[in-house]
Amino acid sequence: MFLLHPMRQGRRNTTAMHYMWPYDYGFYSDSDRPLDAGKWSDALTRAVLRKDVDAARGLFDHTFWHNTDFKPDWFHLYLAVQQQDRATVQLLVTHGARFDKEQLTIAAAALKEVIAPFKSILAEGGMRLDRVDTENYDARTAIAMDKRLLAENAKLGHANPQETAALDLAIVQFGVRAARRKNTAEARDILHQTSGGVDGVDLAPLFRHLAATSAAGLDAAVVLGIIDDVRAAGVNVQPLALETLSGKVEDFYTLVTALDARGVLGGDTASLRDVMLHSWCFAQTQLTQGDFSIEQSPDAAQRQRAAFAAAAKVICGKDSDVTPDEARRYTDLHTRQAPRHGDAVAHMDETLLQTGFFGAAAFTPTLLESLAAAAPTDALRGAFNKQAQARQFEDKGLYHFLSPKRFDTLRAALRSGAFVPDADDSEDILRYLKTRCALREVPEDVVQTLREMKTAGADFRGIEVTDYLGAKHPLLAKTLLDLDIVSARDIRPQRLSKRIAPHKGLGGMFVQNTDRDYALSEFLYQVMFERTYPERTQEMRAKRGVSYQRVYTLAQLSKQVDAIKALQSPPRPKLPSLPPPKMQLPEKKNPYADYYPYTRPRPPSSPYGSIKGRSGPKPGY
């Protein structure tokens, strides 16, 4: 960075007196009306820029005689030194213009050889150039001085946006340096002085500067480290426009996920997405361009794909604001690159299908069909066709396809899973299928359509089966029951019996198969049988030519007969079995035991008396 912007003087064909006593400042020579300090400072600035020492001396004389509270400051002294006007410098020092210690250090570092000839004059005011260390200065003081110079230049009509941008860059550099040194208070004070300090600091100019001045380029870890250090200092970071750093940062697309996680991802996402998708087409080991071919290592290609896939989850999601022009550009890119770089394009398409990128309304059925035609794999071709079918139903609605001309399109969408009918859609389709049924027959294509709806996961809840009965045949009602789309438990017998006339008993107990109501009666008995005996449902459906009237009647009669038999000869209750008694023999007991205590028996004595040994003393005594 450079310290302290130079002052500029505009050339005007005016007299010195006009600068000293400007009428627009409200000052007249015959009046004692005083000026405020700011206007006196501006008048002195113009005099210093013109090197008009007499005008400056006259100004000081006037302020003295009129007792005006005005004193020159460091800015006027710095300006006079920059103009190399010794007389004006001497005058300003005499009237109290001073650099403090930090300001003198910064002025010496900025002016270098220009300030050296004024060493003695400055020393008269206590400003010793030989005691300053130009390598160590307070960044906050330098920023304040630079801002003053820019403000004074703006007053003179010399505002320069490049100088303002350079000052902001210098402020950010000073603030980041303080933040990385863990000097939190200083970093906060410095970074809040940037032009966007209220909303946060803009780090993009710093990153562009680092990328331009570094021979090795800028690493993504460095970018994230600076952002984390600044935020740790308690300073907000403005969202970073990543597209401005494209081509300047190594592993650039890894920043997308990291910045989004930190909440500082900003800029033009559409342009960033366009650049990324174009680069993605070359993320493979073998690159071909005409007759020219390049190879890269599998690790490099894998690393690129991982970075692109992670970034796509952020900027290529289902909520991405994709415009029609962007969708057309992607289709053209896909069509051009798929024949040459099929592996990379296949990986890109698979990832974008997972993120929901093609779910944007900008991808019309025509564009999706074009993507399917150029898809590098059969799986992708099927996925794009499925997406195109789903988009047709979203754009045109279900009623557009409920016609003989377009019904095959509806069936294809059901088979692919592109269209899954909800409860209302299922009811609309069933009403249309009912119109395609003959008087006593359900066509095979209608049955297949119902199977396809069931396989696709259509919602049949709320379907009232009796609404699909024919006048002489159950038609769709029986088909729905036989396909297990609805169960007999879901059919209300009361409502069904109101639609099917009861048998009068004429011609026999059961309705004959020649009767016009035979099919309806069979369906009624089938519902009653499956409601009463659900465990026998599949068994009876597997049999051909079953008469549910007879089966249900016989089952009910058998049930009643069993009940009567149970009443006539109820089963004997089973008594609980008792364990056999435990036999205990009486214990023999001496009845005189309580009167004659037990004594230990003695062995019998010998009839020959006791045998004695030799008399005499025992050994040892």
User: Do 49 and 108 fall within a single domain?
Assistant: yes
Range of the domain at 455: 406-486
Q: Nearest-CA neighbor of 149 among 136, 138, 163?
A: 163
**Cβ contact 234:228 at 8 Å:** no
> What pLDDT, on the 0 to 100 scale, is given for residue 606?
66
- 257, part of any domain: no
Q: What is the mean pLDDT of the chain?
A: 83
- 387, part of any domain: yes
**Cβ contact 555:533 at 8 Å:** yes
User: Do 273 and 392 fall within a single domain?
Assistant: yes
pLDDT digits (tens, 9 = 90+) for 356-374: 999 998 999 999 999 999 9
User: Do 481 and 549 fall within a single domain?
Assistant: no
**Domain C-terminal end among 109, 136, 159:** 159
- 527, part of any domain: yes
Q: Is 148 exposed, middle or buried (0-12, 13-18, 19+ CB in 10 A)?
A: middle
| CATH code of the domain containing 36 | 1.25.40
At residue 175, what is the residue type?
G
Between residues 428 and 2, the one the model is more confident about: 428
pLDDT digits (tens, 9 = 90+) for 527-581: 889 999 999 989 988 888 888 888 888 888 898 888 888 888 877 777 777 777 7
- 372, part of any domain: yes
- 110, part of any domain: yes
Task: Reply yes or no on whether the pLDDT at 140 is more than 60.
Answer: yes
Give 537-591 as a DSSP string: HHHHHHSSS--HHHHHHHHHHHHHHHHHHHHHSPPPPPPPPPPPP---PPPP--T
User: Do 503 and 453 fall within a single domain?
Assistant: no
Binned at pLDDT 50, 70 and 90, residue 115 comes out as very high
User: In Å, how far are 244, 315, 543 from 268, measured between CA atoms?
Assistant: 9, 10, 68
**Cβ contact 168:133 at 8 Å:** no
User: Do 412 and 287 fall within a single domain?
Assistant: no
> What pLDDT, on the 0 to 100 scale, is given for residue 612?
56
Question: Measured in Å, how far apart are the chain's first and last C-alpha atoms?
Answer: 127
Residue 119 backbone phi and psi in degrees, to 5: -60, -45
User: Do 368 and 410 fall within a single domain?
Assistant: no
Task: Reply yes or no on whether the pLDDT at 337 is more than 80.
Answer: yes
> What pLDDT, on the 0 to 100 scale, is given for residue 8?
54
User: Do 359 and 442 fall within a single domain?
Assistant: no
Task: Reply yes or no on whether the pLDDT at 215 is more than 80.
Answer: no
The domain tally of the chain equals: 4
**Domain C-terminal end among 374, 396, 418:** 396
Is the pTM above the cut of 0.75?
no
User: In Å, how far are 517, 584, 598 from 591, measured between CA atoms?
Assistant: 100, 20, 12
Pairing between strand 218-219 and 265-266? unpaired
pLDDT digits (tens, 9 = 90+) for 480-504: 999 999 988 888 878 888 888 766 6
Which parts of 192-341 fold into alpha helices (H)?
204-213, 220-232, 254-262, 269-280, 298-315, 324-337
- 173, part of any domain: no
Task: Reply yes or no on whether the pLDDT at 7 is more than 70.
Answer: no
Task: Reply yes or no on whether the pLDDT at 219 is more than 80.
Answer: yes
Task: Reply yes or no on whether the pLDDT at 85 is more than 80.
Answer: yes
Read off the pLDDT of each residue in 115-138 and give the average, rounded to a whole number: 89
What are the tokens at 110?
Answer: 């900025």
Binned at pLDDT 50, 70 and 90, residue 509 comes out as low
- 122, part of any domain: yes
User: Do 534 and 510 fall within a single domain?
Assistant: yes
User: Do 339 and 411 fall within a single domain?
Assistant: no
**Domain C-terminal end among 432, 456, 486:** 486
User: Do 382 and 471 fall within a single domain?
Assistant: no
User: Do 410 and 392 fall within a single domain?
Assistant: no
Residue 364 backbone phi and psi in degrees, to 5: -75, 165
User: Do 20 and 143 fall within a single domain?
Assistant: yes
Q: 457 in the Ramachandran plot: left (φ > 0), alpha (ψ -120 to 50) or beta? A: left
- 89, part of any domain: yes
Q: Nearest-CA neighbor of 489 among 546, 538, 528?
A: 528
**Cβ contact 124:93 at 8 Å:** yes
Separation between Cα atoms, residue 359 and residue 362, nearest integer Å: 8
